[in-house]
Amino acid sequence: MQTVSPSAALAAQRPLGRSDYKTLALAALGGALEFYDFIIFVFFATVIGQLFFPPEIPDWLRQLQTFGIFAAGYLARPLGGIIMAHFGDLLGRKRMFALSILLMSVPTLLMGLLPTYASIGLAAPIALLALRILQGAAVGGEVPGAWVFVAEHVPAKRIGYACGTLTAGLTAGILLGSLVATAANSLFTPAQLHDYGWRIPFLLGGIFGICSMYLRRWLEETPVFAEMKQKKALAAELPLKTVLREHRLAVLQSMLLTWMLSAGIVVVILLTPPLLQKSLGFDAVTTLQANSLAIVFLTMGCVLAGTLADRFGARRAMFGGGLLLALSSALFYGLLPSHPDRLLPLYALAGLSVGVAGAVPYVMIRAFPPAVRFSGLSFSYNMAYAIFGGLTPILVSLLAKATPLAPAYYVAAVALIGMLTALSLPRQARA
């Protein structure tokens, strides 16, 4: 059993101070700008497909290839996350936190400057794929690194709030991408968007990256890592080796909870807008408005879930959040076909329930000891997201052939897995 010094116990119980709020604000804002860079690709997938692939291929194949490049970013996340987490556990959280911005913003800027297929032929999609892989590697380190960074800055009793706030910042990046895409489609004609308008959001992403780098100049190394370095208590061997040997249960629990997180984000937030248009006949403007509202409620839900985890513990917060996610998804997909006038409130409730994602990093932070925390969290999160995030669209599409309620069934099933996983968590997680 670990002993805690009186000074450490006092620090764990102190209220959030001005420096804590500054760290949270800068980290969340930087995370939003960086996640914008990663997600903006999907909002311009159609235009990119037309410009970066041969014009003579069928539309379905062009779209498939475009989303294949988008998916490559997810597949690159585990490798990037593992490498950056390794050095984050050995060299410091802040260094990797800064490096992830560089790896994200430079490829985004270059995407906005890339010649198209008409100019350089097959080199265009190859270059686009390479840049997308770099983006995936960057976000693989950014998200886990950001959670570890803020969690190790705040008092132990406010880790949930800190992780929820940071996750809210990441989801705000999705909203920012949606708003920029809306503005681009409103300001430019289809011809202008095809000629040059699509580049502007990517160039903006490069500027956002520079802003993020500037913001993070003011952040300091986490007290937890600084203390480990001073006491020479850093990992004595490859951190991931220790994780896989000594923390297999924590890895499994973290991956299953990440599956619930990815199901909510991918199905409810990312896959539902095209479903609303194709299957239920909603127009693009109404769909975008409803989706934006859902993301706003998702952002609030992340902070709420993290706060509840602090107040009631991970078991109760995750179990209750999973239950709400299952019920709200059933209401949303079940009632909407017969009550289209209730789109906004039903989607807002569904978005709020996806906010359970804000409590997931709370569990993962406390599941691994500080010396291997970055590696344990990064491996679990990125591997789960690469597997489940990539398979989710395929599984939902296959289920949809049998029933229009496929999204509800899938989200409810994964939420049930999340609830059962929550019951397996220790009643008192590691402080």
Please check whether residue 420 lies inside any domain of the structure: yes
The residue with tokens 């010649």 is 115
The two most distant CA atoms of the chain are separated, in Å, by 71
Q: Give percent of the chain with pLDDT exceeding 90.
A: 35
* 260-294: pLDDT as tens digits: 999 999 899 888 887 887 788 888 778 888 988 99
Claim: this prediction has a pTM higher than 0.85: no
Going by pLDDT thresholds of 50, 70 and 90, the confidence category of residue 309 is very high
Distance of CA 282 to the CA centre of its chain: 27
SS3 assignment for 300-360 = HHHHHHHHHHHHHCHHHHHHHHHHHHHHHHHHHHHHCCCCHHHHHHHHHHHHHHHHHHHHH
Going by pLDDT thresholds of 50, 70 and 90, the confidence category of residue 6 is very low
HSE of 8, CA atoms in CB hemisphere, 13 A: 9
**Both tokens assigned to 340:** 């289209």
Examine the pLDDT at 5 and tell me if it is beyond 50.
no
Please check whether residue 164 lies inside any domain of the structure: no
Please check whether residue 9 lies inside any domain of the structure: no
CA–CA gap between residue 294 and residue 304 (Å, rounded): 15
- Write down the pLDDT at residue 186: 82
Going by pLDDT thresholds of 50, 70 and 90, the confidence category of residue 420 is very high
Average pLDDT, whole number, for the chain? 83
Q: Are residues 389 and 309 part of one domain? A: yes
Question: Of the ranges 98-102, 183-187, 254-258, which one carries the lowest mean pLDDT score?
Answer: 98-102
- Domain end position, chosen among 182, 206, 234: 234
Structural domain boundaries, residue 299:
238-426
Are the CB atoms for 108 and 36 separated by under 8 Å? no
CA–CA gap between residue 31 and residue 170 (Å, rounded): 5
Range among 134-148, 297-311, 397-411 with highest mean pLDDT value? 297-311
Q: Are residues 131 and 195 part of one domain? A: yes
Going by pLDDT thresholds of 50, 70 and 90, the confidence category of residue 9 is very low
* 102-135: pLDDT as tens digits: 788 888 999 999 999 889 998 998 998 899 888 8
Examine the pLDDT at 406 and tell me if it is beyond 60.
yes
Q: Are residues 203 and 71 part of one domain? A: yes
Handedness of CA 255, 391, 396, 407 (dihedral sign): positive
Please check whether residue 13 lies inside any domain of the structure: no
* 166-208: pLDDT as tens digits: 999 888 888 898 888 888 888 888 899 889 999 999 999 888 8
Please check whether residue 305 lies inside any domain of the structure: yes
- Write down the pLDDT at residue 429: 44
Please check whether residue 165 lies inside any domain of the structure: no
Q: Give percent of the chain with pLDDT exceeding 70.
A: 88
Q: Are residues 247 and 142 part of one domain? A: no
- Domain end position, chosen among 234, 255, 271: 234
Question: Cβ atoms within 10 A of the Cβ of 296, count?
Answer: 16
Domain count, the chain: 2
Q: Are residues 195 and 46 part of one domain? A: yes
Q: Are residues 280 and 221 part of one domain? A: no
Q: Are residues 406 and 286 part of one domain? A: yes
Question: Of the ranges 8-12, 95-99, 328-332, which one carries the lowest mean pLDDT score?
Answer: 8-12
Which one-letter DSSP state was computed for residue 154? S
Please check whether residue 112 lies inside any domain of the structure: yes
Examine the pLDDT at 377 and tell me if it is beyond 70.
yes
Q: Are residues 205 and 187 part of one domain? A: yes
Helix (H) or strand (E) holding 250: helix 248-263
Sequence-ordered list of residues with C-beta below 8 angstroms from that of 89, at least 6 positions apart, any chain: 234, 235, 239, 371, 372, 373, 374, 375
Question: Which has more confidence, 339 or 236?
Answer: 339
- Write down the pLDDT at residue 114: 93
Contacts by residues 246-252 (CB-CB < 8 Å, ≥ 24 positions apart): 247/367, 247/368, 247/372, 247/376, 250/364, 250/367, 250/368, 250/376, 250/380, 251/376, 251/379, 251/380
- Domain end position, chosen among 189, 209, 234: 234
- Among residues 43, 352, 27, 369, which one has the least CA distance to residue 180? 43
- Write down the pLDDT at residue 431: 36
Q: Are residues 308 and 335 part of one domain? A: yes
Q: Are residues 327 and 289 part of one domain? A: yes
* 30-88: pLDDT as tens digits: 788 878 887 888 778 778 888 888 887 777 676 667 767 777 777 787 887 788 777 77
Give me the CATH number covering residue 200. 1.20.1250.20
Please check whether residue 269 lies inside any domain of the structure: yes
**Both tokens assigned to 397:** 């599409």
**Both tokens assigned to 197:** 């308008």
Handedness of CA 47, 51, 57, 61 (dihedral sign): negative
Going by pLDDT thresholds of 50, 70 and 90, the confidence category of residue 11 is low
Which one-letter DSSP state was computed for residue 279? T
Q: Are residues 246 and 216 part of one domain? A: no
Q: Are residues 309 and 212 part of one domain? A: no
